Amino acid sequence: MPVADLRSGSITAWVPLWWAGEGGPAGAVLNVLLWPAEQAYHLAVRARNTAYDRGWLVEASAPIPVISIGNISVGGAGKTPFTAWLAEYLDVAGRRPAVVLRGYGRDEILVHRELNPNVPVFAARRRIDGVREAAAAGCDIAILDDGFQHRAVSRDLDILLVAADSWRSPQRLLPRGPWRETLTMAGRRADLVVATRKSPVTRDVPALKSAICAAIGRTPVVECSIRPAGLQPLQTKGDRVTRVSLRGMRVLAVAALAAPEPFVGNLEELGCEAELIAFPDHHEFTADEAASLGHHAGIRPIVMTLKDAVKLRPLIHAAQPAYVLMQRVELTDGAEHLLGAVENLLMRRERIR
């Protein structure tokens, strides 16, 4: 199959467009047909949350403080880079953090280990098992990556990420849209909300903050920018290396992301002219696919996110020019709310001990 057709025309390519309101006539029909399924899903989520709220379902007690980071939509809010940033912050502050995740995608585990080599990562289907492993290994705080809806573990701080870049898309629940629960429903559990953005345009952030305030009242809102930090050679690991510039060059952008558009926008912001080859989220690349990508790129450099680099690095030929788009996380407003909440949590648990 030609590389350009790896995702073109497939259901995995069309569904995000439909969820964003660009599904055409077929999407309009599905919107009607799947409305009952959306309502059933909504009722199931509400019933599950009620069961936890009233104690009918019990949250397992954790031996160390737990910070949960998650979002209310499928992909695209920056959970992994934000979690990695918080883990680094705690590590530098002298704590012994651990990242705990389900491990649905091997890429997320490898990304965390590459960004923070000093921070152990524990993958467990039952998140409480991962937290207990972290405590047994000497860690003194656990960060749940994508743990907001995983209520089987008690948590000391719930951080909800909401992507400003996709805020104007229809806010429909699964399966009619990418939302796992409504903002009002999720906001009742959140200790603070982080409005994330990956594009340089800020016009959607004020609208999102107004919606958050209207839906969940006084919950603090933090603004977070996840921006390009530059390009580094694929075969060079680590975040602190000399960056390269591909400004003015045509590149082949490879992405196995839920929402690849911000990635392409980041490359254009760095001055690249990008052709996108998109794969399904968490795609496991094969050697044949890597060879096809190299053939399709020709003399053009291949550029990818770190999420895909950790899987493609052993497959891309060493002679092929290939680079990784690195990212930086910046708290652009309300940082005192987040950092204050983390410090209060640590002080509170120290007093209990």
Which of 164, 194, 199, 170 lies closest to 182, judged by CA? 170
Contacts of 232 (CB under 8 A, 6+ apart): 241, 242, 243, 244, 323, 324, 326
Per-residue pLDDT for 9 more than 70? no
Distances in Å between the Cα of 352 and the Cα atoms of 27, 65, 349 are 54, 11, 5
Give pLDDT, residue 80: 92
Give pLDDT, residue 353: 57
Q: Do residues 243 and 231 touch, judged by C-beta distance below 8 A?
A: yes
Interaxial angle between packed helices 335-352 and 79-92, expressed in degrees from 0 to 180 and rounded to the nearest 10: 60
Element (H, E) at 143: strand 141-145
What is d(CA 70, CA 288) in angstroms, rounded to the nearest whole number? 34
Q: Which tens digit of pLDDT belongs to each residue from 118-127?
A: 999 999 999 9
Give pLDDT, residue 218: 78
Per-residue pLDDT for 352 more than 60? no
Q: In what order do the strands lie in the sheet with 322-333?
A: 121-123, 97-101, 141-145, 66-71, 157-163, 192-197, 221-233, 322-333, 302-305, 250-255, 273-278
What is d(CA 289, CA 6) in angstroms, rounded to the nearest whole number? 9
* 325, β-bridge pairs: 231, 305
Give pLDDT, residue 198: 86
What is d(CA 343, CA 351) in angstroms, rounded to the nearest whole number? 12
Q: pLDDT-based confidence at 206, cuts 50/70/90?
A: confident
Give pLDDT, residue 239: 52
Highest mean pLDDT of the ranges 145-154, 205-214, 232-241: 145-154
Q: pLDDT-based confidence at 7, cuts 50/70/90?
A: very low
Per-residue pLDDT for 30 more than 90? yes
Mean pLDDT of the chain: 89
What is d(CA 24, CA 306) in angstroms, rounded to the nearest whole number? 33
Give pLDDT, residue 1: 30
Set out the domains of the chain in order of their start, with CATH numbers.
Answer: 66-224+330-352 (3.40.50.300), 228-328 (3.40.50)
Mean pLDDT calculated for residue range 125-130 = 94
More confident residue, 11 or 45: 45
Q: pLDDT-based confidence at 12, cuts 50/70/90?
A: low
Q: Do residues 121 and 109 touch, judged by C-beta distance below 8 A?
A: yes
Q: pLDDT-based confidence at 252, cuts 50/70/90?
A: very high
Give pLDDT, residue 216: 83
Give pLDDT, residue 203: 67
Distances in Å between the Cα of 179 and the Cα atoms of 16, 20, 175, 183 are 12, 11, 8, 9
Alpha-carbon Rg for the chain, nearest whole angstrom, is 21
Got the DSSP string for 271-327? T-EEEEEE--TT----HHHHHHHHHHHTTSPEEEEHHHHHHHTTTS-TTS-EEEEEE
Mean pLDDT calculated for residue range 100-116 = 88
Does residue 321 have a cis bond before it (omega within 30 degrees)? no
Give pLDDT, residue 77: 85
Q: Which tens digit of pLDDT belongs to each residue from 279-326?
A: 888 889 999 999 999 999 999 999 999 999 999 999 999 899 999 999
Distances in Å between the Cα of 34 and the Cα atoms of 29, 40, 45, 183 are 9, 10, 17, 21
Which of 22, 139, 12, 65 lies closest to 348, judged by CA? 65
111: left (phi over 0), alpha (psi -120 to 50) or beta: alpha
Q: pLDDT-based confidence at 15, cuts 50/70/90?
A: confident
Q: Do residues 205 and 195 touch, judged by C-beta distance below 8 A?
A: yes
Give pLDDT, residue 2: 33
Q: Which tens digit of pLDDT belongs to each residue from 38-50?
A: 999 999 999 999 9
| One-letter amino acid of 162 | V
